[in-house]
Each structure stands twice: as C-alpha cells, then as structure tokens.
Amino acid sequence: MLKFPYGFSDFHLLRMENYFYVDRTSHIRLIEEAGHQLLFLRPRRFGKSLLLSMLENYYDVAKADEFDKLFGELAIGQNPTPKHNQYLVMKWDFSMVNAQGNLNEIHQALHDHINGCIEQFQVQYQNLLNYHITFNQNNAIRSFQSVLAAISQTPYRLYLLIDEYDNFANEVMMGRGEINPKRYKALLSADSSLKTFFRAVKSASSGRGLERVFITGVSPVLMSDITSAYNVAEDIYLEPNFNHLCGFKESELASVVNQIVAECSLAKEKGQAALNLMRTFYNGYCFSESVNELVYNPTLALYFLKKFQHDCRYPHRMLDSNLTMDLNKLTYLSRLPNGRAVILQALNGAPLTLSLLANRFGVEQMLKTSQSTQFVISLLYYLGILTLDGQTELEELRFKIPNLVVRELYVEHLFERLLPEDVERETIREMAKTFYQTGDLQPLCDLMEQRYFEVFDNRDYKTANELTIKTAFLTALFDDVWYIMDSEMPSRRRYTDLTMILRPDFRHLPLHNFLFEFKHLKLSDVKLSGAKVKELSLTELEALKPVKEKKVEAEKQLLDYQTDLELKYGDVLKLQLISVVTVGFERVGNGGGNGE
C-alpha cells in the first residue's frame, strides 16, 4: 500500500521509508547547468522545501554512502552528474525567523537562526573540519566567515540552500494584512542585518569557498529590494524546463488514483471521477509563458490521495483547514493601488492581461498610487492567486484564477470585507443552506436588498453591472463542500453566469443543482427613483416592462445553457434554472426555478 508524505518535506525520510515520490531528480542536471547562484519562486505549499531537501541529499558529501539507496532507482541515479556528494551543504530557512517584535529583536532572531544553522553544520561535518568554528552570538556574519575559514582547510566547497528567503520580510511588511512599508524599509536599510547577510553570501562566492547557492521564495520583491547587496542570482522560475519542477502533472496522478480505486475495490469509473474532482480543485497552475502544461498543487493533491486511500471515499472538505491560504495576503493586496479592482475582475472572470510579467519589482513600485495594474497582477501570480492562461491574439499574457480552492480564497476575502460581523455571515450561510434544499431564492434576495447591498460603497453603486451583482450572489452562495461552483463556465463560445453542480459523491443528497443568469437594470432604465422602486411590491416590480424583458432574455439563455450542461453531465444532472433581475442596488427580483 502506498504511503503519502502529506505535511513533511524530508527527502531522506521519504526515500528510506518508501513514501510516494514523483521523480523530479532529472532536473538536477538542468539546475547545475543553469548557473551557480539561482533564484526559484513558487507559491506557498508548493513543494519548495522538498526540492531543497532533494538537492541537499544529492550533493552532501556526508550522504555519499547512501547514494544508491536514495537515488539509485531515480532518473539521476541512472545517470548522475560528477558533482553528486561533492559538497558541504548548509541550509538557512528564513520561515523560522520570528517576524514579531521590534527591528532589533527581528535582527537578533535572524542572527540566532544563522548561528543555529552553523552549529548544525559543525556537528554534521565535525569529522571533516580540522579548523575550529568560532561563534559570535550577536554577529552571525562573523560566524559564517569562520565557517568559510574552516572550509578552506578541506578539499570541499560549500553549497548554500536558502529556503523561503522572503518569508519573514513579507511578514514584516504585510503581517495581519496591514501595509507597513516603513517597518519593511527599516529592515532593509543600508546597514541592516538582512542586506549584510546577502553581501556576505555574494562575497563568499568570489573564491572564498562558497561555490553554489540555490534560493527559494514566493515573490521577487525582496530580491529586488536587496539588489545592491546581492545582484548575482539568476532567475529560473519562469523557465519552461522548470514549469513542473514543483507540482504534479495529471498523468502522474492518474495511475495513483487508479491504484487506490483498486485497493478499495471501487468501480473503475470512480477513478476518473476522483481525477475530475482533483482537477477542478487543485489543478490549473502554469509558471511559464512558453508552455501549456498545467500542474497540480502537490500538498493539496497529497491531502486528497491520503484521505481517499484511508477512507475509500473523497475527503469531505477539499481543502484541509490546516492548509487554508492566508487571507491576510489578499487583504493586503486589496489595499494596494488598483488591488481591489484587479481582485474583483479576477473573481468575475473579466480579462486580465499583461504585455510583460514583472519579474523584479520593489516595494516602492508596488505602492505608487499612479501605477498600472502590472505589479498587482504580477504579485497575485507569484502568490499563486492567479496563474498564466495562455496568450491573447496580440500575444499578451493572459491570467486567471487557477482552480476552485483559490476561488474560495477570493470569495472569503470579499465576504468578510462586505460583512465583517460573524453573525451576519452565519445568517446568510444558513439561508443559503435552505436555498440548496428548496430552490427558493427569494428570502436570500430580500436579505440582499435589506443588508448586503448597503455595504457596497459609492464606487460600486456608480459602476454596478451584472458582474457586480453576480459577485454579490457568488459570495453569499459559495459552498466548498457540497458543490462545484463555476463562474463563467464555457458553453458554445458563451459563458454561464454561475453554475452550482453537486459533487459526484453528494448527488444522492436532497440538494438541487443550479444554473443562474443575472441581469441588471439601472434606475434610469426603469425611469424611477430609488425611493419609488423601493415602494413597489414584488409583483409590481416584475410587471415593469424593462424587468419583464430582462427576465425573458435571461430565461432564453438559461434554456440554451441547460441543454449544453445536460449533454455534458447526462441524466444524472437535473438543473434548477434561476434568473435574477436587479434594479439598481435597491431591488432584486427572483425569476424562480424550472427545469426539474
């Protein structure tokens, strides 16, 4: 039976205890050829630490006796490079540096971490080091220089691995979703510990014993801001050869899913259904404009596989609560110039394009009020909240939300912003649950009129359209347990407004499938003031000629979409068709349901 390494990234343990591993060792040769000091970026929870652990075990001279056990059956083991097991390896993990407290405390935490890594290095290689390493508790750079002196007395060179290089700096700048550029800039001042450490790394690579550096992180912001201290790293994170260096390809997951289906004595079609579900929730990432290959989030895929194997059924929740992405990041981004507009565009499925992805940009550029959306879209891409989606006819880069797990992040961000009180959100969730069972949307429409639309500000009111209304209903109705929710599902070159399709494993429950079409009228379209519209009864509202016309238009589109969706899903799917017509932000008319 397969063992899935969910939640840990120790390559040695993974190989020695025969855990499931998707072989990425063929990339080692490519990494060697790419350069001596490399920067590789991927979103959080994307397997970067396991990648570094793989490199550590491959190059570590102390692991030479275990090479065949660790790599013999893998691609690189069949054709190793001459560099294997030829280095002393040191690893720094900046996610371990405490970003709380004042700047002096943060600087000391950084020194403490580096000193701790040096101490571990000394213990690991004590049989190879003849020179005594001197520790300076308040100056880890001096300790690092002592390490270089010790290395100079050996025939080996140092390979430095830096994991999550930007983690604590990002926490300093946007912890709890608050923008704190002053604190961040102070951390990066000319005489700061962080810049001094990178100066020391650069100096050490100039013939002083440090031969190779591999750095991982999430975004290039910090690297741009420390360029004066460290301007020698080569970017490989957009290279097509490394698109799937972290992450799973679907072909690699299909055989594993089928193996679990066989172990659980399930019907063969259960495997394809499981793969379809994983694709919807976890797939969709592309990290190079030169390839069309999509990859899965590896941590979440392993979570699904482990649960599926253990219970012989799909996980109840597709996203483990321990892995929920940090909403603070979206809160932070929404406060950047143009940030809020980009987030709404992405959620609505509106086109997001760039002529060029920004691959080096600092905080000063991000915070400029006059800037374009380039930096916001680029940063959303690096955080994994947007991904590449091919090119336009003009060969501009196109971006989209990668999958349903990330869409949930957008929805939760907007839901909490619009309704900050837990009680209000819980009320809407309960009304949504009733709607799933009854198909009666009117009580929720009434609540939207009375409370939800009140929190939209004047900018939203002036620019309100069908997308604005759809966004409001999407946040209120979103469910990540029972439903696969899709905004802008393609249908014969058109796009449905919103579909709510029950997950295959929940289609036996007394819940409906839904297809929505939203239409919006301005107050000027009905030639009434907001006050007059509010006085109308629901029957009077629906009798208005513009409302009736919009309703007829919506119902025609719904019937067309219904045919397409039922061809796709077959007889197992019976759709409840819902048309929603709004007049300004004052009134919401529910066209009711049919088709079931």
Q: Which residues contact 400 (CB under 8 A, 6 or more apart)?
A: 284, 346, 349, 352, 386, 387, 389
- Nearest-angstrom CA–CA distance, 541 and 449: 14
Taking CA 205 as the corner, what is the angle to CA 65 and CA 25, rounded to the nearest 5 degrees?
A: 40
Query: Do the Cβ atoms of 113 and 124 come closer than 8 Å?
Result: no
- Nearest-angstrom CA–CA distance, 42 and 296: 12
Provide the token pair at 382.
Answer: 């690096």
Report the sign of the C-alpha dihedral through residues 442, 446, 447, 451, in that order: positive
Provide the token pair at 316.
Answer: 């109840």
- CA distance readout (Å), 219 to 13, 237, 242, 363: 29, 10, 16, 11
Could you tell me where in the chain the CATH 3.40.50 domains are found?
35-66+87-242
| DSSP string computed for 109-161 | HHHHHHHHHHHHHHHHTTTT--SPPPP-TT-HHHHHHHHHHHHTTSS-EEEEE
Diameter of the chain by CA atoms? 91
Name the fold adopted by 35-66+87-242. Rossmann fold (3.40.50)
pLDDT at 408: 85
Could you tell me where the beta strands, DSSP code E, fall in 170-324?
210-217, 234-235
Taking CA 314 as the corner, what is the angle to CA 309 and CA 319, rounded to the nearest 5 degrees?
A: 105
Q: Which residues contact 327 (CB under 8 A, 6 or more apart)?
A: 177, 409, 412, 413, 416
pLDDT at 8: 87
Query: Mean pLDDT, 10 residues at a time, over the chain (596 residues)?
Result: 90 96 97 97 93 98 97 97 98 93 90 97 95 93 96 97 91 70 81 88 94 96 88 94 94 95 94 92 91 91 95 87 65 80 82 88 74 83 92 92 87 84 90 95 86 63 71 88 76 71 91 92 89 89 92 91 77 81 82 50
Taking CA 471 as the corner, what is the angle to CA 465 and CA 474, rounded to the nearest 5 degrees?
A: 140
- Nearest-angstrom CA–CA distance, 498 and 496: 6
The residue with tokens 């649950």 is 433
